[in-house]
Amino acid sequence: MGMYPEYMVAPIREDLTSAGFEQLMTPEEVEQVLSENEGTVLVAVNSVCGCAAAKARPALKMAVASSDKRPDKLVTVFAGMEGEAVAKAREHMLPYPPSSPSIALFKNGELVHMIERYHIEGNDLTRIVDNLKGAFEDYC
Q: Residues 70-108: pLDDT tens digits?
A: 999 999 999 999 999 999 999 999 999 999 999 999 999
Distance CA 53, CA 34 (A): 25
Distance CA 52, CA 120 (A): 8
Comparison of pLDDT for 4 and 74, the residue scoring more? 74
For position 2, what pLDDT does the model report? 79
Distance CA 2, CA 104 (A): 22
Residue 64 clears pLDDT 80, i.e. is over it: yes
Q: Is residue 94 part of a domain?
A: yes
CATH number, domain at 76? Answer: 3.40.30.10
Looking at residue 111, what DSSP letter applies?
E
Cα Rg of the chain (Å, integer): 14
Q: Is residue 1 part of a domain?
A: no
Q: Computed from CA positions of residues 92, 133, 116, 120, in that sequence, does the dihedral angle turn out positive or negative?
A: negative
For position 62, what pLDDT does the model report? 97
Distance CA 61, CA 49 (A): 17
Domain count, the chain: 1
Query: Residue 44 pairs with which residues in a beta bridge?
Result: 76, 103
Q: Is residue 22 part of a domain?
A: yes
Q: How confident is the model at residue 1 (pLDDT cuts 50, 70, 90)?
A: low
Whole-prediction pTM value?
Answer: 0.95
Distance CA 6, CA 117 (A): 23
User: In which domain, by residue range, is 61 found?
Assistant: 6-139
Distance CA 82, CA 127 (A): 29
- The set of catalytic residues is 49, 51
